Amino acid sequence: MAPEQTTAVLEAEGLTKHFPVRGAGRDVLRRGAAVHAVDDVALSLHRGRVTALVGESGSGKSTVARLLAQLQTRTGGAVRLHGKDVTVHGGRRFRAYCRSVQLIFQDPFASLNPVHTVRYHLTRALRVHGHAGRTARELEEALTDLLGRVRLTPAEQYLAKFPHELSGGQRQRVAIARALAARPEVLLADEPVSMLDVSIRLGVLNLLRDLKEQLSLAVLYITHDIASARYFADETLVMYAGRLVEGGESETVTQSPAHPYTRLLIDSAPDPERIGSAQRAELDEDDLGEPPSLVTPPAGCRFHPRCPHAMERCTTELPPRFEVSGKQWAACWLYDNGSPAPAGES
C-alpha cells in the first residue's frame, strides 16, 4: 500500500464513533456510557482499487461506511478527501462531498422509492449533481449511457419501470446507476450483494469490478463474506468489535491469516471440501465465545477473551499494528518484534 500512497482519494485516520447510551440497564448505570461502535480506524482508498472491509454483524463496518459518507458525524478522527480534511453537516457542502463519494446500500428493495420509475430516480440524481445536460436529448443520452454502464439494455425498456417490476439484481443495478450519475470518485458499497440471490451475486460483483476499471473508481466493499473479499478485492481489512485487526493484500490475508480472529473467521467459513463427518469432530470446539459488549469493551486487545493465544499483555495493552510481511499487518502482540510465530500457522 505504500507505493500507492500518492493516489489515495479518500482517507480516514483515527476514525472513531461512540453512540451515547440512554436509559437504564445493568451495564449502563454510569453516566456517559457509550457504544464504542468504531474506534481508531485508519484506511485509505485508492483509484482503481477495491478495498474490502470484512467483519461480523455488529463489528462496526457499516458505521465506517456511514462515517465516510458523512451521513453520521464522527466522534473523533479525520476523513480526508484528496488530502483535505472534510467535515460536512448537510447543505451545499454535503452535496459537493457526495458528488465525489457515493454510497450503495445493502437492500435494493428499500433504497428505491416504490412510487417512482427508474427514469425518475436517475433523472433526479443527474439533475441534483448537474449532469443532466441542457436539453431533453442530452438528458436522454445521459440516461441511456447510465443504464448501459450497468448493462440494463435496451434502456427504453427499463426507464419506465417501477422498482416492483424489477428483480433484485436489476434493482441493485439501478441503485448503482444512480450512484454513478454523480460521477463519483469513490464508491462505498455496504453489503451490495448480500440481499441478492446467490446466482446473480457474482453478476453484480463483476459489474462493480468492471466499472471500477473503466471509471477508475476507488471502491470500499463492505461484507461479512470473506470468500467474496478474496475474489473481488485487492486489499482486505478485517474488523472486530469496532477495531481493525488485520489488513493487507486480499490473497495473503485470506490464505495465510495472521490475526487469531481472522483465522477463526476463515476456519468457520463453510468449506465444501470438508465433506462428510470424518473431519467434523475436530471443528467441534464448543464454545468459541461471542463478540464482546461494545458498551464496556474488554481492555487491551478486544479479542483476548476468545483468543487461544492470549497472553498477560493482551489483557492490558492495546496492540498496535505490526508488520507481518511486506503485504500484511496485524494488530496482535504475537507479531511484536522477535515473538515467534504461533503454532498452527500454515
Partner 1 sequence: MSDAVLELKDLSVDYGVGESAVHAVRNVDLTLHRGEVLGLAGESGSGKSTLAYGMTRLLAPPGVVAGGSVLYNAAGEEPVDVLRLTDAELRRFRWAQTAIVFQGAMNSLNPVHRIRTQLTDVIRAHEPDTRPAERLDRARELMSLVGIPEDRLESYPHQLSGGMRQRVMIGMALALRPQIVVMDEPTTALDVVMQRQILSRLVKLRERFDFAVLFITHDLSLLAEFSDRIAIMYGGRIVESSPSADLYRDPLHPYSRGLLGSFPALRGARRELTGIPGSPPDLRAMPAGCTFHPRCPLAFDPCARRRPPLAATSPARDVACWLHATPDTED
**Residues forming the site for partner 1 (CB under 8 A):** 56-57, 167-170, 197-203, 206, 224-228, 230-232, 251, 254-255, 264-266, 268-277, 280, 283-284, 286-288, 290-291
3-state secondary structure of 152: coil
Cβ burial 74-100 (10 Å sphere, 16+ → b, else e): bbebebebeeeebeeeeeeeeeebbbb
Closest distance between partner 1 and the C-beta of residue 203, in Å?
5
Cβ burial 307-343 (10 Å sphere, 16+ → b, else e): bebbeeebeeeebeebebeebbbbbbbbbeeeeeeee
Return the closest-CA partner of residue 22 out of 11, 10, 34.
Answer: 34
The residue among 69 and 226 lying less far from partner 1, judged by its C-beta, is: 226
The residue among 111 and 194 lying less far from partner 1, judged by its C-beta, is: 194
Return the closest-CA partner of residue 103 out of 16, 184, 200.
Answer: 184
Closest distance between partner 1 and the C-beta of residue 237, in Å?
17
Closest distance between partner 1 and the C-beta of residue 214, in Å?
18
- Helix pair angle (136-149, 168-180), 10° resolution: 130
The residue among 74 and 263 lying less far from partner 1, judged by its C-beta, is: 263
3-state secondary structure of 53: strand
Beta strand 218-223 pairing with 186-190: parallel
The residue among 206 and 339 lying less far from partner 1, judged by its C-beta, is: 206
Closest distance between partner 1 and the C-beta of residue 199, in Å?
4
Instruction: Provide the CB-side half-sphere exposure for 208 (13 A, CA).
Output: 35
Closest distance between partner 1 and the C-beta of residue 288, in Å?
6
Closest distance between partner 1 and the C-beta of residue 308, in Å?
13
The residue among 247 and 292 lying less far from partner 1, judged by its C-beta, is: 292
C-alpha span between 49 and 45 (Å, rounded) = 7
The residue among 74 and 171 lying less far from partner 1, judged by its C-beta, is: 171
Provide the grid cell at 73: 458525524
Closest distance between partner 1 and the C-beta of residue 313, in Å?
24
CB 333, CB 314: distance < 8 Å: yes
The residue among 69 and 174 lying less far from partner 1, judged by its C-beta, is: 174
